[in-house]
């Protein structure tokens, strides 16, 4: 079945440093979503990418969807302590059922002030 | 608009018992998905319902079941509980605009299930 791999599993940075998490799918995706889960909280939707090669920005966050629609990345510029949490990518298999999101295992980001 | 609500928030059960968890989606959302979250396995998809029909199911044993009511509220049931069922169970609702695109999931706070 579809697998979504996410790396790294953990990332610790100093405040002000940049951070990137990568997501790779074993199959072509129709779309990919990114979520953030704060410690003790629930996942909160950040963004959805649909088009091949798409790049979207939200303030210090930049999201990319690969040309082959099999990989994606989230880059945070100049991290802040408010960025702490686990970042998940989630993809829907292209050509298959559109009713199932497969989540990566997430990247836990910690920021040292 | 009220968010997704889940009840109960915490539950302690013993092995062999069964449990029913409830989820009320955001008003107007007809798609409800359930996920199991554990530290080792991350977020794993259980099933998704739309208009009272289960449209997809994850790779979980038949002990895990669910249903959706006409008002879009959903329940999931786990029978014959095992220690490994201890997890955070998350429900998420979604507004279905285009069946080709899986839309933004709005998650509830979850039910923390502990099996002793």
Transcribe B57-115 into DSSP letters. Answer: E-S--TTEEEEE-TTS-EEEEE-S--GGG-EEEEEEEE--S-TTSPPPPEE---EEEEE
Angle at CA A90, nearest 5°, toward A87 and A96?
A: 175
Give the tokens for residue B38.
Answer: 């554990």
CB atoms B42 and A99 under 8 Å: no
Lowest mean pLDDT segment, chosen from A102-111, B71-80, B92-101: B92-101
Q: Is a pLDDT exceeding 70 seen at residue B101?
A: no
Query: Which among A72, A80, A86 has a CA at the least distance from the CA of A111?
Result: A80
| pLDDT for the residue A113 | 93
Find the closest chain A residue to B99 by CA distance: A98
What tens digit of pLDDT does each residue of A53-106 get? 999 999 999 999 999 999 999 999 999 999 999 999 999 877 666 567 889 999
| pLDDT for the residue B2 | 83
What tens digit of pLDDT does each residue of A9-48 get? 999 999 999 999 999 998 899 899 999 999 999 999 999 9
Task: Work out the pLDDT band at B41, boundaries 50, 70, 90.
Answer: confident
Q: Residue A44 — φ and ψ, nearest 5°? A: -125, 130
Where is B19: in which H helix or E strand? strand B19-24
Tell me which residue has tokens 């990137």.
A20
| DSSP conformational letter for A81 | G
What tens digit of pLDDT does each residue of B5-26 get? 999 999 999 999 999 999 999 9
Which of the two residues, B102 and A81, has the higher pLDDT score? A81
Q: How far is B29 from chain A (nearest CA, A)?
A: 14
| pLDDT for the residue B97 | 65
Contacts with B92 (C-beta within 8 Å, 6 or more apart), sequence order: A43, B4, B32, B33, B34, B35, B105, B106, B107, B108
In whole angstroms, what is the distance from residue B113 CA to residue B67 CA?
A: 19
Give the tokens for residue A57.
Answer: 């920005």
Nearest to A103 among B43, B59, B101 (CB): B43
Query: Would you say B30 and B48 are in contact if contact means Cβ atoms under 8 Å apart?
Result: no
Q: Is a pLDDT exceeding 90 seen at residue B76?
A: yes
Q: How far is A78 from chain B (nearest CA, A)?
A: 27
Q: Is a pLDDT exceeding 70 seen at residue B64?
A: yes
| pLDDT for the residue A95 | 67
Task: Work out the pLDDT band at B95, boundaries 50, 70, 90.
Answer: confident
Q: How far is A65 from chain B (nearest CA, A)?
A: 15
Sheet bearing B74-78, strands edge to edge: B5-7, B19-24, B74-78, B64-68
In DSSP terms, which residues pair with B32 in a beta bridge? B49, B93
Beta-carbon neighbour count of residue B42 at 10 Å? Answer: 18
Task: Work out the pLDDT band at B93, boundaries 50, 70, 90.
Answer: very high
């Amino acid at each position: 079945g579809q697998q979504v791999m996410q790396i790294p599993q953990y990332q610790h940075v100093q405040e002000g440093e940049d951070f990137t998490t990568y997501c790779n799918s074993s199959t072509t995706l129709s779309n990919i979503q990114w979520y953030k889960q704060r410690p003790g909280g629930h996942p909160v939707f950040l963004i959805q990418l649909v088009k091949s090669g798409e790049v979207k920005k939200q303030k210090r966050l930049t999201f990319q969807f690969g040309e082959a629609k099999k990989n994606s990345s989230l880059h945070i510029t100049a991290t802040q302590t408010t960025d702490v949490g686990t970042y998940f990518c989630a993809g829907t298999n292209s050509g298959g059922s559109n009713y199932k999101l497969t989540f990566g295992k997430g990247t836990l980001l910690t920021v040292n002030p | 608009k009220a968010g997704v609500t889940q009840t109960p928030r915490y539950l302690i059960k013993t092995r062999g018992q069964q449990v029913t968890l409830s989820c009320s989606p955001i008003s107007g959302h007809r798609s409800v998905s359930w996920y199991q979250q554990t530290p080792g396995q991350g977020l794993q998809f259980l099933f998704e319902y739309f208009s009272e029909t289960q449209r997809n199911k994850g790779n979980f044993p038949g002990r895990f079941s669910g249903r959706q009511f006409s008002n879009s509220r959903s329940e999931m049931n786990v029978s014959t509980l095992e220690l490994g069922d201890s997890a955070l169970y998350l429900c998420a609702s979604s507004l279905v605009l285009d069946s080709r695109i899986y839309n933004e999931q709005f998650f509830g706070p979850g039910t923390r299930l502990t099996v002793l």
